[in-house]
């Protein structure tokens, strides 16, 4: 596999000072606000009553004093619960960030929001971001408008919901690095990208862990990106995709995408097919007004055998009796065995 990828990470930092215990949430906020670099530990679960802010001069580690400790969104806390500003760095170890979805509904904000190319979020062993509903916006759990997300060790992004990117929504130059033991699971999007979405995105994505049980009401149960950014999605041989679902029909890759697939996708474990560009696991969309007349193979849900399809212009009338549906390039595919389907 060609080695033309570049994994971005934060510059090496000086050793962190000895851990300081924050006895309550107010003290945790105070210590972060008054220390550029801090290694903090919490002895119990805290309720987040106002946003936790990581400023551009902060390099903050939050970890559990013992076991797994939670930072839980208060029903009164709307919007983004944790905000990482450009230049800020937050590392979580044995900490669960919990959106408290049973008590908080339709919060217009992510659990963690980051912005700027130099912001960094490190989810290390035992870190979980989970249980948040952001039904009217993007990024159910994490929204990265730039910056770098590193998931290492046994870390989880799970049970989030949003319009796009039920788990993680990437935009601008955001990077996502998912390690072999990390998991993006059980997330839901009412539009595209149940697990991860890239909207107006031109960063990079490296998937080496688990992407499973994610659902999209339209495209990309696991991952959804624009076609223009498909060459920035890398899947390593250790990655595992399973039980992802999307309601749009499954469209497999075109011959013109074969070289890109071979250079970028090393994974071999997929939800239902023998390759990853299948809409259940990885979906992409080129917003084109028309597509060529080349034929391709398409699987319809509930059918194990492929149906040979033809393309029609994007704005052509859709004959439902012909089995038409939007394809991965924004055109319309139809079953050419039907007499009304053009060849």
Domain hosting 148: range is 20-285
**Does 271 reside within a domain?**
yes
Please state which of the ranges 29-38, 167-176, 280-289 shows the lowest mean pLDDT: 280-289
pLDDT at 328 > cutoff 90: no
Do residue 212 and residue 316 come from a single domain? no
Backbone angles phi, psi at 231, to 5 degrees: -75, 0
Q: What is the pTM of this model?
A: 0.82
CB within 8 Å of 91: residues ≥ 6 apart: 60, 61, 62, 122, 124
For 250-263, how does the pLDDT look when each residue is reduced to its tens digit (9 = 90+)? 777 778 889 999 99
Please state, for a pLDDT cut of 70, what percent of the chain lies above it. 78
What integer pLDDT is reported at residue 273 of this predicted model?
A: 85
Residue 224 CA to residue 226 CA, distance in Å, equals 7
Do residues 40 and 69 both lie within one domain?
A: yes
Number of structural domains in the chain: 2
- Tally: H helices and E strands in the chain: 2, 33
Q: What is the pLDDT of residue 65?
A: 92
Which DSSP string corresponds to 120-175? EEEE-TT-EEEEEEEEEEE-SSEEEESSEEEE-SS-EEEEEEEEE-SSEEEEET-E
The phi and psi torsions of 62 (rounded to 5 degrees) equal -120, 125
Q: Which residues of 14-30 are buried (b: 16+ CB within 10 A; e: fewer)?
A: eeeeeeeebeebeebbe
Q: Does one domain contain both 145 and 162?
A: yes
Question: Which of 285, 300, 319 finishes a domain?
Answer: 285
Claim to verify: residue 113 and residue 142 sit in the same structural domain: yes
Q: Which of 270, 285, 300 is the last residue of a domain?
A: 285
The domain boundary residue, chosen from 285, 312, 331: 285
What is the model's pLDDT at position 135?
79
Q: Specify whether 67 is located in the same domain as 39.
A: yes
Q: Do 136 and 46 sit in the same domain of this protein? A: yes
Residues 280 and 312 reside in one and the same domain: no
Q: What is the predicted pLDDT for the residue at 336?
A: 38
């Amino acid at each position: 596999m060609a080695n033309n990828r570049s994994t971005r990470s934060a510059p090496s930092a000086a050793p962190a000072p000895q851990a300081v215990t924050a006895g309550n949430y107010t003290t945790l906020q105070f210590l972060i606000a008054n220390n550029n670099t801090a290694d903090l530990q919490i002895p119990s679960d805290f309720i987040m009553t106002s946003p936790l802010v990581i400023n551009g001069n902060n390099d903050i580690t939050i970890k559990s004093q013992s076991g797994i400790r939670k930072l839980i969104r208060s029903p009164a806390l709307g919007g983004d619960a944790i905000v990482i500003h450009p230049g800020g760095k937050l590392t979580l170890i044995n900490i669960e960030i919990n959106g408290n979805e049973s008590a908080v509904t339709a919060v217009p904000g992510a659990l963690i929001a980051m912005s700027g190319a130099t912001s960094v979020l490190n989810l290390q062993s035992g870190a979980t971001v989970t249980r948040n509903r952001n039904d009217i916006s993007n990024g159910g759990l994490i929204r990265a408008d730039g910056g770098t997300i590193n998931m290492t060790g046994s870390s989880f992004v799970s049970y989030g919901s949003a319009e796009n990117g039920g788990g993680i929504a990437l935009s601008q130059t955001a990077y996502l690095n998912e390690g072999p033991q990390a998991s993006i699971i059980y997330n839901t999007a009412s539009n595209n990208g149940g697990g991860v979405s890239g909207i107006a995105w031109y960063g990079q994505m490296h998937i080496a862990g688990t992407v499973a049980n994610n659902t999209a009401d339209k495209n990309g149960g696991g991952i959804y990106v624009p076609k223009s950014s498909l060459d920035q999605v890398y899947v390593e041989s250790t990655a595992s995709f399973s039980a992802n679902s999307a309601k749009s029909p499954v469209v497999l890759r075109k011959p013109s995408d074969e070289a890109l697939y071979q250079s970028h996708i090393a994974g071999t474990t997929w939800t239902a097919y023998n390759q990853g560009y299948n809409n259940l696991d990885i979906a992409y969309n080129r917003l084109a007004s028309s597509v060529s007349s080349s034929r391709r193979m398409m699987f319809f849900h509930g059918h194990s055998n492929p149906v040979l399809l033809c393309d029609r212009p994007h704005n052509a009338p859709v004959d439902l009796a012909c089995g038409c549906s939007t394809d991965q390039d924004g055109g319309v595919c139809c079953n050419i065995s039907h007499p009304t389907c053009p060849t």
